[in-house]
Chains A and B, each alone.
Chain A
């Protein structure tokens, strides 16, 4: 089965750049999507197909994917970006799989 590995937590100073990684075996050959989930709320899609932003998602959110690591980058981090972030791929053996999630703290 295919597994995705995320750090449990990432901290970033207000206004700086946060990078949240998602590791997987040759994940660069897969298509990665990212979701933001604030406490008590449903997840929201923030990046699809590695690096595309849905309408309404700020340009500060970007994504990349290569080798064994995909990365969600949040520039000029704001207090409102504090949330859990999940990566997700589709795999032929595991179907739809999520990473364990990363808690982003903005200091």
Chain B
């Protein structure tokens, strides 16, 4: 069965950096695009970033463009999100999700909490 397990969350000061990881199993990782989606406390879902199955294209929400970088390691079946210049408004639970048809998210991880605070 598909499993997505995020890690790397924690507390970081404004302006700091953090790298999130998402270990994937139960499907052919190299055949599917992958997403990061976040949810601020008490708020709704916000798409953050997408990487194509072959890593050839990456897309970012305007709110994180230039600060966040999505990447993937096929040898480790792992998705990453490098987050730099973090702001208080980046505080959220970050989920990784598997792509289906390039349009929607068919499996989600359990999420990892990132708190940006001094």
A42 touches B95 (CB 8 A): yes
- Chain A: which residue is nearest B95 at the CB level? A42
- Contact pick for A43, options B45, B59, B100, CB 8 Å: B45
Interface residue tally for chain A (C-beta within 8 Å): 22
Is B32's CB within 8 Å of the partner chain A?
Answer: no
Complex CA gap A37/B61 in Å reads 22
B102 touches A98 (CB 8 A): no
Contact with B along A42-73 (1 / 0, CB 8 A): 11110011000010000000000000000000
Contact with A along B78-118 (1 / 0, CB 8 A): 00000000000000000100001111111111110000000
| Chain A neighbourhood of B103, CB < 8 A | 31, 33, 49, 90, 96
A95 touches B45 (CB 8 A): no
Is B46's CB within 8 Å of the partner chain A?
Answer: yes
